[in-house]
Amino acid sequence: MSPLKLAIIGGGPSSFYVASRLLSLFPKDEPLFSQLRIHIYDKLWAPHGLVRYGVAPDHPEVKNCTHKFDQAAGDPRIRFFGNVQVGPQTPPAISHALPISLSSLKPHYTHLLLSTGCTIPTLHPLLLPSDRVIPALSLVHWYTQHPSRPSPPPLHKTEHVSIIGQGNVALDVARMLLTPPDILEKYDVPAPVLDVLYRSAVRRVSIIGRRGPLQAAFTTKELRELTTLPGASMIPLAHDVITPASGTKLTRQQSRILQILQQASPTATPTHVPNPPMSTKKSWSLDFFRSPTGFTADGQHLTLAHTALDENSRAVPTGVSSLLRTDLVVTALGHHTDPLLAYYDPTLGHLRTDRGRVLDTTSHALRRVYASGWAATGARGVLAATMIDAYAVADAILGDHFGFGPGGGDKAVPVQGEAYSDDALVSEDVDLESVPRTVEQGIKEKRVVQYDQWKKIDAEEIRRGVERGKERERMGWEEVHEFLR
């Protein structure tokens, strides 16, 4: 049986879940054990993608999945190459990443997996980035010290922040802006970020959405955390906003969300209100049925169109509008895959795929080229969903290559039967241990970070954190490069 040597572009959770699945299906007592190699390339010098650079610092339990990734990386058949930009430099740009072409991988691999995630924020057409409008992703990258090094927000002169969007990222950003910095100190929040938060003048956060509480994308957990935040109270909602129409069938999550909102609003008894309205210096609001249409001429106010739901639960304007004075706008409207990537479908916002296989413009599957995670599905779902998707992609890879799936199942077939695209991104016969020459040179120069080196960096960050009484103190690339040298 011919060997399977897989190159994975992207080092986030989906990549490691695919790798872990493949490795587990070929243990040491399996005859095909030695026929498998997996190489993971990431433009970030540290592995784990959104787990390191997207999870809110005060949610450390979400990062427990890295133990599984460490276990996979300990297998001798897998290698990680961090700080390597495969293909064109794409946003957010990493200036120190080692550039190599996608074609340079072809002679070395029999299979290719694209797992680059969704790295581009979806922008509001009437609120484009400026000194007063910041994509939420930039703010998240700032407080997680992403290697793209976005500028810190001007919080020292910002009293009112308006967040456009009502998903979990919007609530994460609101919580980071409203949580007392002395509480955040124990978490994985870099010292320069804490310095900015201590000087913050933010007193009010408005979280704006064009639909109602039953359509909001945040989870019950995120909402409850915000309502119980020390030192910040929720602005009460009108009774009709949080009272469903007679006969409305609610899901379990919708019922819980309404219950939390009702407890924090005027109909609640004081004993049920975590932070009574106007009892704190900081406050926040959920502004439902509002859609921003731009700034006023003086640039001091957002114009908000009032909306209602049509019969299909779509937000439509009512003809009424209002003004909201604000100092800073954060747009949290989701993310999409980089449109510069080959096989990107602009109508989907991610790569064209079918059951894990990447498709060309004629819907033919590329031979032995796959995609997983948000690059394949779009920016949706939690880690558990990412893991399930990754396992399915790993099974498709095995089915196509070895002719059987886990347990000896039938071979998986491409979307167009045996008709494949003419695009060839991988090879038939490769050296199992080889890597591109540019990568070899980068390893010698300590410019490419391998997993055993990452574990030493990880230990050093934790050691520095212990000295400060916190989870860890993160290192920047300059420190990392010198540390490795």
Query: Could you tell me which residues are annotated as the binding site for NADP(+)?
Result: 166-169, 210-211, 222, 381
Strand order in the sheet with 365-371: 78-82, 36-42, 4-9, 111-114, 365-371, 357-359, 353-354
CA distance 141 to 158: 19
**And the tokens for 468?**
């400060």
SS3 70: helix
Radius of gyration of the chain from Cα atoms?
A: 24
Distance CA 98, CA 86 (A): 8
**Separation of first and last alpha carbons in the chain:** 41
- Measured CA to CA, the distance from residue 378 to residue 216 in angstroms comes to 18
Give the pairing of strands 315-325 and 328-331.
Answer: unpaired
How far is the C-alpha of 482 from the C-alpha of 447, rounded, in Å?
A: 10
Helix or strand run (H / E) with residue 453:
helix 451-468
Q: If phi over 0 gives left and psi between -120 and 50 gives alpha, with beta otherwise, what is residue 441?
A: alpha
Sign of CA dihedral 325, 330, 335, 337: positive
Chain position carrying tokens 């957002």: 302
**Length of the chain measured in residues:** 485
Residue (of 403, 385, 393, 319) closest to 353 by Cα position = 393
What are the binding residues? 14, 50, 86, 166-169, 210-211, 222, 374, 381
List the structure tokens of 359.
């498709």
Residue ranges of the annotated binding site for FAD are 14, 50, 86, 374
Rounded CA separation 298/289 (Å): 24
CB 304 within 8 A of CB 137: no
CA dihedral 144, 149, 153, 154 (to 10 degrees): 130
Cα–Cα distances in angstroms (integers) from residue 332 to residues 220, 228, 240, in the given order: 18, 22, 26
* Other residues' Cβ atoms within 10 Å of the Cβ of residue 27: 9
Gap between the Cα atoms of 85 and 344, Å rounded: 18
Closest by CA to 4, choosing from 399, 466, 473, 460, is 399
Q: Which two tokens stand for residue 358?
A: 């990447």
